[in-house]
A and B are shown apart, each in its own frame.
Chain A
Amino acid sequence: MAEIRVENLQKLFGEFVAVRDSSFTVPDESFFVMLGPSGCGKTTTLRMIAGLELPTSGRILLGGEDVTFNRASARDIAFVFQLFALYPHMNVRGNIAFPLKCQGVPRAETRKRVGETARLLRIEHLLDSPVSGLAGGDRQRVALGRAIVRRPKAFLMDEPLGTLDTEFRDLMCQELRGLHNRINATTVYVTHDQLEAMSMADYIAVMNNGEIEQMGPPQEIYDRPATMFVADFIGSPSMNLMPFHGALKKGASKVLLDGVGVGVPALRESLAATDLALGVRPEHIKLSDKSKLRAKVFSSEYLGTTQIVTLETGHGNVHARISADRKVRTGETVGLEFIGERLSLFERSSGRAVDTALNDGAAHG
């Protein structure tokens, strides 16, 4: 196993910039997820690490060795494709043994390692069946088996659960993470599904427009989004971004919204009057009759233990996640209260988060 280091990676397709100056390090034995909307460059980045695309500029280091222009076959990595890419003219055993056959591993050794892999993935009973008749999850396991059997330096996975139905996806998420915990292989996993990313990752890199917007452990990404894009992309429903205009002074711990003071984490920088946005997670909103910040209930969506209430405020519609016990009526006017120390502030022109006490000790991507 090895760490993967990507330095100033750039990829152009003609005029189109697919990946813009990306740098990141995937620590050894970690599960690293690249998350972003489709077309954000995450798959291109993965394919460059794999050697299926050559970067326009930048370097890729695998275990300290520069592999930027090495052939895919010379990199000692395994790749799991979204469509699994199981060879239809071979049975399960043939598929799993294929990478070993390519490398000229002796037959006895191949047999032993295929057996071990099948045992690890619990697909021993399928070894002699053709791949065409397999169910989605079993195909996925065979594809994983083909990756594991080589004992590569790193695993690269391109939305491997994308084609499975939801129920199965949750199960495979657990299995994948369980497998990672057992073999501790450095893994780079690409997905557009934030739930997959949150539930499996040690580290998440959120990408947008060919750039990494933020990188860090899932909780940090969720609690301390570095940009408005990340704040909006992560979470369901996503973070409320309430636009307002104002100046910020270092050390202050209040901003003015409609003339009402709202407590925020202590500011670590000063900003002249500009367009700002207050970022509030739905679960950090409480309905309180005492609050001077008023809003009208627009609709509510019952989710069992909680409900999502859409509220009309002077700063756009806001989603609040509150207990399902609290009865709300459409059209009712309520008071809003925020959990001050959990709020984020963004500068709207650049989209970046304003430095506050919330970010103390956080590493920005």
Chain B
Amino acid sequence: MSATNTTAHSVVEPSVRSRRIAGAIVILYAAITMIPLFWIFITGMKSPPDSISYPPKVVFEPTSEGYCNLFTTRTRQTEEYVKALGEPETICDEITRRRNMVIAGPSNYWPRFVNSLIIAFGSTFCAVFLGTLAAYGFSRFRVPLADDLLFFILSTRMMPPIAVAIPIYLMYRELGLSDTRLGMILLYTAVNVSLAVWLLKGFIDEIPREYEEAAMIDGYTRMQAFWKVVLPQATTGIAATAIFCLIFAWNEYAFAVLLTSGTAQTAPPFIPTIIGEGGMDWPAVGAGTTLFLIPIFVFTVLLRKHLLRGITFGAVRK
């Protein structure tokens, strides 16, 4: 029996061959889109000379130099001084000394990374929290001018946020919010909250209001009914919204460059400023970028079930 016979009595099920072709195309496309990520990942494990060699090296000897450089600041010393130091305490000590340098102290990467975590998760929480309450209000109550208000909320997304960068810069300077975590959280919340309201309103509209009415008759107040009956059913929508908000806040670059420079600087504007000897320290940049991808990756994987269900929401419920 030849392979083509398998299609004879089935119009719905694709044949093995066409499935293989489709699979191959998907894998190929995925591979192409992943090449930059892969390149960043391997650059993080190269030595500085390997990272800028021409032709580019795909096979190389992996080293943790990029990660050491990312987390430390170093100073150049004389060969005699380095020799006189005795046994290196860590692997980073050893790598640094081979280049006649010593570790002077920790770099700013970790504080910047923590800033990113606080600002991105903080603003996501605020946007989703406010968005849920606003969406619930719009969905359940007769709000005067509700349609106009919703349009107004949406209209804040109608121009690129960076278009208002200069007024915001001036405002923040006057208010003392420049280069503060609070300022960045407020800013990202403001940008995200309109998205959150619109997304969540759709999800909450789908939840029959009888649920909370039943809970209210059974003895809950409206707030209790909201927390204990509506929210558990809106988790899918909340998770999907949170991912969208987090991705924006985590990756945002333009405002971060403009409004932060020191204590509240996030990782995106920091990473490109990592300079090594004689120009960019590409392995350190690669290492910083790789680490920077991890939180969003973990968050998305944790919530991916909700995200998928969020996309098909309404089709299976009842």
Write the residues of chain A forming the contact surface with B, with a CB cutoff of 8 angstroms.
50-52, 71-73, 75, 77-79, 81-85, 87-89, 98-99, 102-103, 146, 150
Contact of A52 among B208, B217, B232 (CB under 8 A): B217
Please tell me if the beta carbons of B216 and A52 are within 8 angstroms of each other in the complex.
yes
Query: Does residue B258 face the partner (Cβ distance < 8 Å to A)?
Result: no
A87 surroundings in chain B (CB, below 8 A): 211, 214-215, 229
In the bound complex, do residue B232 and residue A72 qualify as a contact, i.e. CB atoms below 8 Å apart?
A: no
The answer to whether B208 and A89 have CB atoms under 8 Å apart is no
Alpha-carbon distance A350/B260, docked complex (angstroms): 77
**19 contacting pairs across A/B (C-beta < 8 A):** A71-B216, A72-B213, A72-B217, A73-B217, A73-B219, A79-B213, A79-B214, A81-B213, A83-B208, A84-B210, A85-B211, A87-B215, A87-B229, A89-B233, A98-B215, A98-B218, A102-B218, A146-B214, A146-B218
CB-CB under 8 A for A73 and B218, given A83-B208, A83-B210, A85-B211: yes
Q: Assess A79 versus B211: contact at CB under 8 Å? Given A88-B233, A89-B232, A89-B233.
A: no
Q: How far is the CB of B190 from chain A (nearest CB, A)?
A: 32
Interchain CA distance A73-B220 in the complex, whole Å? 6
Across the interface, name the chain A residue whose C-beta is closest to B218: A99
- Are A99 and B211 closer than 8 Å at their CB atoms? no
The 8 lowest CB-CB distance pairs between A and B, nearest first, are A102-B219, A85-B210, A99-B218, A81-B210, A85-B214, A73-B219, A89-B232, A72-B217
Check B221 for interface membership: any CB of A closer than 8 A.
yes
Nearest A residue (CB) for B224? A102
CB nearest neighbor in B for A89 = B232
Q: Are B211 and A73 in contact (CB under 8 A)?
A: no
- Distance in angstroms from A188 CB to nearest chain B CB is 13
Q: Which residues of A contact B213 (CB under 8 A)?
A: 50, 52, 72, 79, 81, 85
Asked if B217 and A79 sit within 8 Å, CB to CB, the answer is yes
Report the separation of the CA atoms of residues A88 and B215 in the bound assembly, to the nearest whole angstrom: 13
Residues of B within 8 A of A88 (CB): 233, 317
What residue of chain A has the Cβ atom nearest to residue B235's Cβ? A89
Q: Which residues of B contact A72 (CB under 8 A)?
A: 213, 216-217
Please judge, given known A-B contacts A87-B229, A88-B233, A89-B233, whether A103 and B219 are in contact too, CB under 8 Å.
Answer: yes
Task: Name the residue in B210, B213, B214, B219 with the highest tally of chain A Cβ atoms < 10 Å from its Cβ.
Answer: B214
Q: Which residues of A contact B232 (CB under 8 A)?
A: 89
Task: Mark B residues whose CB is within 8 Å of A.
Answer: 208, 210-211, 213-221, 229, 232-233, 317
Q: List chain A residues, Cβ under 8 A from B210.
A: 81-85
Q: Taking A89-B232, A89-B233 as contacts, is the C-beta distance between A81 and B214 under 8 angstroms?
A: yes
Q: How far is the CA of A146 from the CA of B214 in the complex (A)?
A: 10
User: CB within 8 A of B215: which of A77, A89, A102?
Assistant: A102
Q: For the complex, give the distance between the alpha carbons of A78 and B217 in Å.
A: 7
Contacts A88-B233, A89-B232; A73 near B208 (Cβ below 8 A)? no
Given A73-B218, A85-B211, A102-B219, 8 other A-B residues pairs in contact with their CB atoms under 8 A? A73-B221, A78-B217, A81-B213, A85-B208, A85-B213, A87-B229, A146-B214, A150-B218
Cα distance A77–B214 in the bound complex, in angstroms: 11
Chain B nearest CB: distance from A143 CB in Å? 9
The CA of A300 and the CA of B217, in the complex, are separated in Å by: 50
- Nearest B residue to A150 via CB reads B218
A71–B225 alpha-carbon span in the complex (Å)? 13
Considering the chains assembled together, what is the distance between the CA atoms of A102 and B216 in angstroms? Answer: 9
The docked-state distance in angstroms from the alpha carbon of A72 to that of B217 is: 5
Task: Give the complex CA separation of A150 and B214 in angstroms.
Answer: 13
Q: Does A99 contact B233, Cβ atoms closer than 8 Å?
A: no
Q: Is the CB of B208 within 8 A of A102?
A: no
List of A residues within 8 angstroms of B317 by Cβ: 88
| B237 shortest CB reach to chain A, Å | 14
Give the distance in Å from the alpha carbon of A72 to the alpha carbon of B233 in the complex.
22
Q: Inside 8 A of A81's CB, which chain B residues have their CB?
A: 210, 213-214
CB distance from B189 to the nearest CB of A (A): 29
**A52 — which chain B residues lie within 8 A by C-beta?**
213, 216-217
Contacts of B229 in A (CB 8 A): 87
A99 and B208 contact, CB distance less than 8 A: no
Chain A residue nearest to B212 in the complex (CB): A85
Q: Which residues of chain A are near B220, meaning CB under 8 Å?
A: 73, 102
